Each structure stands twice: as structure tokens, then as C-alpha cells.
A and B are shown apart, each in its own frame.
Chain A
Amino acid sequence: MTDHPTGFVVDESRVPDAPLIAPSANGGLRSVFKRRYLLSLLVKRELAARYQGTVLGLFWSYVQPLTRFAMYFFVVGIVLGLHGDVENFGIHMFSAFVFVHYFTEVFAAGTRSVVRNKSLVQKMAMPREMFPVASVLVSGYHTLPSMVILMVACIFTGWSPDGVGILAGLLGFAIMTVLGTGLALLFSALNVYFRDFQNIVGTLTAFVHFSVPMIYPYERVTNALDGGWLQLYLANPLTESVMLIQRFFWVGTTDDPDATITKSMPDDLFQRGFIMLGICLLFLAMAQWAFTKLESKFPERL
């Protein structure tokens, strides 16, 4: 090192066996799953923080969905009389409800995740995708108890799950998770720039409840809409994933599953489901790309 400004001599034995890389180097979502220990700490933190300062704690995870469910059950089921129209209407609605709630939680909590962790984002170098991903996992964890309630309810109504049904359920869940993670990534980054986005999310969430066959059966839609409007309705990936999930839980509880499928599901549900999963994966890749672009100005915009 002849051109060294102070003539410093290096102790070669102390040079770390590591490449010279950009300290902000980031492999995106891939690096999140490589650093599982850090992710697990963040998930624990999120779990502790979500209902921090409340007396009822995790119980709040049930209050909101259960009151909403009870309201729909009463108004739509009894007042509007869908209990007579749809076999096991409660299961039809609750199976969709549990997962739609999972999706909206992923979306809403994911959107706020980066801003909430401001103090870390400004001072520590780490893959920032950690925050939305951690909040997706936390939302998944909060869904577990309602899934247990759903299973118990299904068993009581005489549930006989089948192999195709399990595949349908997994596919539906995968669509929701991939789409939710993509949205969480994109909106958590946008929310750093404009806090308006966390308000938009609430509006979209209300929209989701009415845009999927949850509080009404799918055959009502096919009766009311045709051609382009029906295609538009089905272009929502959540519609397919809700029906796939109902294919697993609700169809299995009806007296004649085959008749239920012909009556209340589109014929090409699986094809549509796989196409939607593909589209959602593409969207996730785009969200990751956008996140990387937006991330470079996080510390100064927070």
C-alpha cells in the first residue's frame, strides 16, 4: 500500500474471511428467509406489540371477527333468509370469513409494518422486507384459533373432507398468502411516503367482504350477472380462493357434495385457481421490485 495516506500496515491475520460487498446489499424476500432467527425475534415482538396496553390482549383477535360474523349470520341468514337457500349457510359463511379476515389482517398490519418499526429502519441495516413478512406470519398465527373453531363446527355438521378438497383448500390459502404478502410489501413501502395508504386499506377491506361469495352463495352471482360482468367478478383472485376454501370446508359438510359443487361453483374452479396463483406470484415479484426501488429513501422519509 504505497499510496496510503498514513502508511498504515495491515495485520493480514485479522482481515475477515468475507467478500467486499455493499453493506446495504439485499437479496429481498430470499434473504428474509435466510435469516430466520432474526425473523423469529421480529415475529415475537409483533405478537407482543399488537395488543400492547390492552387488558384483553389476544382476545381482541376474536372479538371483532366474531361480532361481525354474528351480525352477518343474523342479518343475511335470518332476516334475508339465506339459511333456507343455502345448506349449512353458517359454514359457508364462516369458512370464508376466517380466511378473508386473515387476508385483511395481512394487508392492514403489513401496510403499517415499516412505519411502526421506524426506530429500527432508521438506524439498523437489515432487509426491510422483514417487517411486512413478520406481520404476515403474525396474522397467520392469529388465524389459528378461529381455524380450530371452524374445524370443530365442520365436524359437528358432519364433515367428510376429501383429497381434492384438501388440495383446493391449500390452493385457496396459497393465493391469499401470496397476494397478501405482495400487497403488504407494496403498501408498507408506499405508506412510508404517504400515510394516506393506511386509510385506503380500511376502505378496501370493507369492499372485500362484499366482493366475494361469502355472505351470499355463488349461484346468486351467476343468476344476476352474465358475460363480461361475471368475468369481472371472477377476475378478483379472492373470489377463487374463497370458493376453493369453501370447496374444502363447506362442500364436505353438505349432504351431496357433488350436487353442491355443480350448483355453487364454477366448473373451471381449479384452472382458474392455478392461473390466479400464477398471477399473484407475478404480482409478488413486481411488489418486491417496487419495494426495492422505494426502500432506498426510507430513512429520510420516515
Chain B
Amino acid sequence: MSESIVVRNVSKKFTMHYHRTLKQKTTATLRRHQISDTFLALDDVSFTVQQGESVGLMGLNGSGKSTLLKLINGVMKPDSGDVLTRGRIAGLIATGAGFHPQLTGRENIFLNAAIIGMSHKETTAKFDQIVEFADIGRFIDTPVLHYSSGMFSRLGFAVAVHTDSDIFLIDEVLAVGDQPFKKKCLARMQEIKNEGRTMFYVSHAAGSVRKMCDRVLVLEKGKLGYDGPVNEGIRYLKYDGDDNDDPIDESGDDLDSELGADI
């Protein structure tokens, strides 16, 4: 029994409502316009991830990556099928932490850690590391509402990587942040991987997926199109073109090509 994430025949449907007020709905109905429409964000997706695996989740925009991440995180429930996880889950969803805009950075750190299940003592022990990593200086006691987008995502990432979790989810976080911070993030993610935590990494950057992951899942319009080794996965997506033909670049010097597609 070593499964970390089990996703079994999962589907998720969204309903789009075009009109909000009763008046709009009535006029639309009388004119025989559609008042709502549904679309299938995830369609019968199944896979199993073992503890300690690093999985890259790839796919075009709108293929259901963030929805899948929200289901694994527990923010959403699937309409049909099962999502099961083992242990604590931390991470970032859709480039931004679940911070409360009116709370200060400090309060948000404690709140965020408490939500994933850490005690006050555990958070206090990690607090200095988080602040140092986020590098936001005296802004720590300012409401996060006043943070720049870079500071906001730095703090979000810092909390996510320093909280104790068994599963770590990360969604295109490297799209924001400057070059030195990206470098620091990649190094920290490597550590997380080495610690044996399960990592679920959503990215468009073939380079960083190749560096970080043991396995790739590709979503295509809500269906799981590919599940297997990294290089074939990237080839499957036809993303390898941007990356020359050097399949495994372990040197890490060429940061630009690794992160270039990460936007």
C-alpha cells in the first residue's frame, strides 16, 4: 500500500451561466437563447501515483490541468469517480496562494499552515525559513493586499514549500518571479523531490519538467492522452522542438531554455 494519489474514472462538468438576474433569464428564455451551457473539464481520467513520485502534468491551456489539481487538493469534488490521497497536501494552485487579502503576511503564513493541518508550534519552527525564502523584508507585517504580484507569489511559494506535507502540488508558479527566485524555487523543488514527497507539477516548460519529474501525464481536452516516461511525453506533446535535441540537460546552466516556455 504505497499509493499517494489515486484518481479513478474522474469526470468534472462545469455549468456556465450566461445570465445572472431573473429579468435577463426571462428575456433570454423568451427569445429562445440558451441560458446555460455545460462543458466537461475532465472526462473519465484515471491514474495512480506512488509515494515519492514526481509527476509533470502537461497539456494546452484549457485542457483541465488546474481542475485536476483542484480535485487532488480537495478544493473541488469530482462529479463522478473517486479521488483519493494519502497524507497532508500543500501547494499552489493557479499561480497564487489562498491568502486573505486583508491579513498581513505573517497572519497568512499561520492561517495557511493551519489549513493544511500544522499546529502553531510547527509553524513557528518553520516561520523564519519561510520569511527568509520569500525575501519580503519588513512587508511581512503589511496586509498582503498591498504586495506586488511578485511578492505575493514569492510568499505563496515560500509557504507551500516549507510546510510539512506528503504531497506537494505546484501550478505554473515559475511564470512569475524573477530569474534568481526561479532558480531558488527549482533548487527547493529538487530538495522536496529528494525528501521523498510526492510532487505534482503543472508546467508548460519542457526543460523544468524534464529536470524535475520521473513521469509525465498529458491532458487533452479533459482526457488523459498520455501517461509514461518524461521524454516520450514531451515528444507526444511536440514540445521538444523548442529545446534543441539534447534530451537530458542535467547541467542546469542554461536556465533560460529551461524556463523559457514557462509563461
Contacts and interface: CB of A to CB of B under 8 A. Distances in A.
A299 interface: yes
Interface string B160-182: 00000010000000000000000
B75 A8 contact: no
A120 B115 contact: yes
A123 B51 contact: no
Nearest to A295: B77
B135 interface: no
Interface stretch (A12-20, A54-62, A265-273): A12-20
Contacts of B229: 5-6
Contacts of A35: 114, 117
A52 B143 CA distance: 12
Contacts of A16: 51, 86-88, 166
B103 A299 contact: no
A14 B86 CA distance: 12
Contact of A14 (B51, B73, B74, B93): B51
A23 B50 contact: no
B84 A22 contact: yes
B125 interface: no
Nearest to A25: B74
Interface string B182-222: 00000000000001110000000000000000110000000
Contacts of B70: 299
B120 interface: yes
Please indicate which of the listed interface residues A1, A5, A21, A52 has the most CB atoms of chain B within 10 Å of its own CB. Answer: A5
A21 B85 contact: yes
A258 B202 CA distance: 73
Interface stretch (A37-45, A75-83, A136-144, A247-255): A37-45
Contacts of A24: 71, 74-77, 83
Given A11-B196, A125-B75, A23 B83 contact: yes
A232 interface: no
B51 A22 contact: no
B83 A20 contact: no
A23 B98 contact: no
Contacts of A148: none
Q: Helix, strand, loop or mixed for chain A's interface?
A: loop
B243 interface: no
B97 interface: yes
Given A8-B215, A24-B76, A120 B89 contact: no
B75 A123 contact: yes
A24 to B, nearest CB: 4
A298 to B, nearest CB: 9
Contacts of B196: 11, 13-14
A124 interface: yes
A279 interface: no
A6 to B, nearest CB: 5
B52 A124 contact: no
A261 to B, nearest CB: 48
Contact of B98 (A8, A10, A119): A119
Please indicate which of the listed interface residues A19, A38, A299 has the most CB atoms of chain B within 10 Å of its own CB. Answer: A38
Given A20-B86, A124-B115, A5 B73 contact: no
Given A20-B86, A119-B100, A12 B76 contact: no
Nearest to B217: A5
A120 B110 contact: no
Given A1-B50, A18-B86, A18-B166, A123 B98 contact: yes
Given A11-B51, A125-B89, A20 B84 contact: yes
B44 interface: no
B258 interface: no
Contacts of A14: 51-52, 195-197
A126 interface: yes
A20 B76 CA distance: 17
A231 interface: no
Interface stretch (B1-9, B29-37, B126-134): B1-9
Given A23-B74, A123-B96, A37 B2 contact: no
Contacts of A18: 86-88, 166
Contacts of A6: 214-215, 228-229
Interface in B69-115: 70-77, 82-89, 93-94, 96-103, 107, 110-112, 114-115
19 contacts: A6-B214, A6-B215, A6-B229, A11-B52, A13-B196, A15-B1, A20-B1, A20-B6, A21-B86, A23-B73, A23-B84, A24-B77, A41-B107, A41-B114, A117-B100, A123-B96, A125-B75, A299-B75, A300-B15
Interface of B: 1-4, 6, 14-15, 50-53, 70-77, 82-89, 93-94, 96-103, 107, 110-112, 114-117, 119-120, 166, 195-197, 214-215, 227-229
7 closest residue pairs by CB, A with B: A123-B98, A23-B74, A125-B74, A14-B196, A16-B87, A124-B98, A24-B74
Given A48-B102, A300-B14, 8 more contacts: A1-B50, A6-B228, A10-B50, A11-B51, A23-B85, A37-B114, A123-B98, A300-B15
